[in-house]
């Protein structure tokens, strides 16, 4: 069975190579914008019938007429065309919105190397590897994991291509790999667990344990970040309306971006380590089917109907976004599939207010953020609120997979008794 994965590594570039890659990144963005203008000028009625061969012909002519556009390799320019056409196909089929103009400030520079054989990957030391990038030459990258088909000790497979991406810490290369693995058969036995995602406790498990983390930045880094944000605010106030931003403000923004990128990388590292440990331990993992995008919407409202507690809601939105709940679910899904397990999503309604022991549901059951106490007569069950919610998620998952793993589920089947029924 073929398994496709991505492997990301930091590039060690010389100043000349950085300039060359920056030119390619700007040319790729300009190529996208030129295609967008050309396709949209034809009108929506002709957009579906636009010929890729004609577009490729215009790209070839543009690379001859514009020297700065020729900095982009020919295969990378063709890949921009393929990606733009795929964006419109996704829009027509309802999977995404229409492609837009790529801003120089808000878009991330990227260049594709579609053919893996052009990379000529080789390991040169314990920490460094080497590959060839078109119109840049041989570049070094950090070697932290064996690539398929490169070293004898590496897995069987091959590198099918790569993408160069510029981030706050510099240029990175993302290798597209194809690995040959044995067919993964579903596990017939194993453990099932429910996970409640939160902001106070990042991951609360139904077995009573938690997966927590500390702040992503140290105290010194947080203080430095706050000073930089205040410095950027002062520099923005000095700038006159309509005046272009200066180099000093741009340098301040770059420093802020590096600190935020550091926090993001540390969060992703913790998520990878935690989800790997969970996927190795449990066969079935259940999570709530949350609409995270709707949960982090602003409470500002409109001019006629302004929102309430806007600043408090904005702070909560930032905390939820920092936890990256959606990324946790994506990591669990593919890691469980690789190990023969699977992920179950259950409805989120009532999980925090339902008693996992008797099934009594009432808003008053959750007394505080951390304490749950059942108010049903004769029950008296008390537990941590997050742990109780995780157990309800596990119970719902046990019913959802009852045909497959019902003998393994030793929890109590929660009923749906509510306050109105008990009255």
Task: Indicate the domain borders of the chain.
Answer: 1-182, 184-212+263-423
- Range from 293-297, 316-320, 397-401 that averages highest in pLDDT: 316-320
Q: Which residue has the tokens 């679910």?
A: 329
Q: Is 384 left (phi over 0), alpha (psi -120 to 50) or beta?
A: beta
Is pLDDT above 80 for 307? no
Question: What are the CA-CA distances from residue 85 to residues 6, 26, 50, 80, 82 (Å)?
Answer: 23, 20, 10, 9, 5
3-class DSSP state for residue 95?
A: coil
pLDDT at 405: 38
Residue 220 DSSP label? H
Which residues have C-beta within 8 Å of that of residue 311, sequence separation ≥ 6? none
pLDDT at 399: 60
Q: Which residue has the tokens 């023969």?
A: 340
Q: Of 112, 288, 323, 394, which is the active-site residue? A: 288
Is pLDDT above 90 for 318? no
Distance between CA 176 and CA 113 in Å, rounded?
10
What's the whole-number mean pLDDT along residues 90-101?
90
Structure confidence by residue, pLDDT tens digits, 173-185: 999 998 887 777 7
Both tokens of 245, joined, read 């931003």
pLDDT at 420: 45
Is pLDDT above 60 for 408? no
What's the whole-number mean pLDDT along residues 343-350?
86
Angle at alpha carbon of residue 382, lines to 213 and 295, rounded to 5°: 50
316 vs 420, which has greater pLDDT? Answer: 316
Sheet holding 122-123, edge to edge: 110-113, 157-167, 170-180, 2-12, 137-142, 128-133, 122-123
pLDDT at 272: 93
**Which residues face 318 on adjacent strands?**
none
Query: How many Cβ atoms from other residues are within 10 Å of residue 79's Cβ?
Result: 22
Q: Of 112, 196, 323, 394, which is the active-site residue? A: 196
Q: Mapped to the 3 state alphabet, what secondary structure does 2-62 carry?
A: EEEEEEEEEEECCHHHHHHHHHHHHHHHHHHHHHHHHHHHCCHHHHCCCCHHHHHHHHHHH
Distance between CA 292 and CA 73 in Å, rounded?
39
Count Cα atoms within 13 angstroms, Cβ side, for 64.
6
Burial class of residue 315 in the structure, from the number of CB atoms within 10 Å of its CB (0-12 exposed, 13-18 middle, 19+ buried): exposed
DSSP string, 255-323: HHHHHHHHHHHHHHHHHHHHHHHHHHH-SEEEEE---HHHHT----B-SSSB-SSHHHHHHHHHHHHHH
pLDDT at 378: 80
**Confidence at 331, pLDDT banded by 50, 70, 90:** very high
What's the whole-number mean pLDDT along residues 243-258?
88
- Range from 14-28, 154-168, 334-348 that averages highest in pLDDT: 14-28
Burial class of residue 166 in the structure, from the number of CB atoms within 10 Å of its CB (0-12 exposed, 13-18 middle, 19+ buried): middle
Count Cα atoms within 13 angstroms, Cβ side, for 204.
22
Nearest to 288 by CA among 244, 254, 326, 250: 326
pLDDT at 43: 57
pLDDT at 165: 95
E-assigned strands of 52-150?
110-113, 122-123, 128-133, 137-142
Percent of the chain with pLDDT over 90: 35
pTM > 0.85 = no
310 vs 136, which has greater pLDDT? Answer: 136
What's the whole-number mean pLDDT along residues 369-390?
83
Query: How many Cβ atoms from other residues are within 10 Å of residue 130's Cβ?
Result: 17
Are 161 and 113 contacting, i.e. CB atoms less than 8 angstroms apart? yes
Is pLDDT above 90 for 262? yes
Is pLDDT above 90 for 171? yes
pLDDT at 48: 52
Residue 302: φ, ψ to 5°: -120, 175
**Confidence at 416, pLDDT banded by 50, 70, 90:** very low
Is pLDDT above 80 for 189? no
- 196 catalytic, yes or no? yes
Lowest mean pLDDT among 8-17, 153-162, 211-220, 261-270: 153-162
**Confidence at 10, pLDDT banded by 50, 70, 90:** very high
Distance between CA 144 and CA 164 in Å, rounded?
17
**Confidence at 188, pLDDT banded by 50, 70, 90:** low
**Confidence at 72, pLDDT banded by 50, 70, 90:** very high
Which CATH number applies to 184-212+263-423: 3.30.420, 2.40.128, 3.30.70, 3.40.5?
3.30.420
What's the whole-number mean pLDDT along residues 258-273?
93
Q: In whole numbers, what is the pLDDT of the chain averaged over residues?
A: 84
Residue 240: φ, ψ to 5°: -75, 155
Q: Are strands 170-180 and 157-167 parallel, antiparallel or unpaired?
A: antiparallel
What's the whole-number mean pLDDT along residues 363-379?
79
- 118 catalytic, yes or no? no
Distance of CA 295 to the CA centre of its chain: 17
What's the whole-number mean pLDDT along residues 367-381?
80
**Confidence at 251, pLDDT banded by 50, 70, 90:** very high
Residue 313: φ, ψ to 5°: -65, -35
Q: Of 386, 394, 410, 413, which is the active-site residue? A: 386
63 vs 362, which has greater pLDDT? Answer: 63
- 288 catalytic, yes or no? yes
pLDDT at 258: 93
**Confidence at 276, pLDDT banded by 50, 70, 90:** very high
**Confidence at 317, pLDDT banded by 50, 70, 90:** confident
Lowest mean pLDDT among 26-40, 128-142, 273-287, 360-374: 360-374
Give the H/E segment covering residue 225: helix 219-238
Are 131 and 12 contacting, i.e. CB atoms less than 8 angstroms apart? no
Lowest mean pLDDT among 47-51, 365-369, 405-409: 405-409
Are 221 and 213 contacting, i.e. CB atoms less than 8 angstroms apart? no
Residue 128: φ, ψ to 5°: -130, 145
């Amino acid at each position: 069975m073929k398994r496709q994965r991505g492997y990301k590594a930091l590039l060690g570039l010389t100043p000349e190579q950085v300039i060359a890659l920056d030119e390619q990144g700007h040319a790729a963005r300009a190529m996208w914008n030129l295609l967008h203008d050309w396709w949209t000028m034809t009108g929506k009625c002709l957009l579906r019938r636009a010929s890729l061969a004609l577009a490729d012909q215009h790209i070839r002519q543009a690379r001859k007429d514009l020297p700065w556009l020729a900095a982009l390799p020919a295969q990378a320019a063709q890949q921009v065309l393929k990606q733009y056409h795929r964006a419109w196909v996704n829009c027509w089929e309802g999977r995404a919105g229409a492609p837009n103009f790529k801003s120089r400030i808000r878009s991330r520079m990227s260049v594709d190397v579609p053919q893996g054989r052009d990379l000529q990957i080789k390991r040169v030391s314990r920490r460094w590897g080497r590959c060839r990038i078109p119109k840049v030459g041989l570049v070094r990258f950090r070697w932290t994991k064996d690539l398929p088909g490169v070293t004898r000790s590496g897995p069987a497979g091959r590198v099918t291509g790569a993408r160069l991406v510029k981030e706050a810490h510099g240029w990175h290369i993302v290798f597209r790999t194809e690995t040959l693995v044995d067919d993964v058969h579903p596990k017939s036995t194993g453990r099932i667990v429910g996970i409640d995602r939160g902001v106070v406790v990042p991951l609360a498990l139904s077995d009573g344990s938690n997966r927590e983390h500390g702040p992503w930045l140290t105290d010194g880094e947080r203080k430095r970040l706050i000073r930089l944000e205040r410095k950027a605010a002062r520099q923005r106030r000095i700038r006159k309306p309509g005046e272009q931003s200066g180099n000093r403000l741009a340098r301040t923004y770059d420093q802020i971006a590096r600190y935020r990128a550091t926090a993001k990388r540390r969060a992703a590292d913790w998520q990878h380590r935690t989800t790997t440990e969970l996927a190795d331990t449990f066969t079935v993992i259940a999570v709530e089917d949350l609409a995270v995008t709707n949960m982090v919407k602003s409470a500002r409202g409109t001019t006629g109907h302004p929102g309430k507690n806007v600043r408090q809601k904005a702070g909560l939105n930032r905390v939820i976004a920092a936890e990256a709940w959606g990324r946790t679910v994506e990591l669990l899904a593919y890691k469980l599939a690789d190990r023969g397990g699977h992920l179950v999503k259950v409805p989120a309604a009532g999980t925090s207010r339902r008693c996992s022991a008797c099934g009594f549901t009432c808003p008053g059951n959750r007394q505080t953020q951390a304490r749950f106490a059942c108010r049903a007569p004769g029950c008296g069950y008390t537990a941590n609120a997050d742990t109780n919610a995780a157990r309800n998620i596990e119970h719902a998952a046990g019913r959802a997979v009852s045909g497959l793993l019902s003998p393994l589920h030793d929890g109590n089947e929660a009923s749906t008794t509510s306050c109105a029924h008990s009255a």
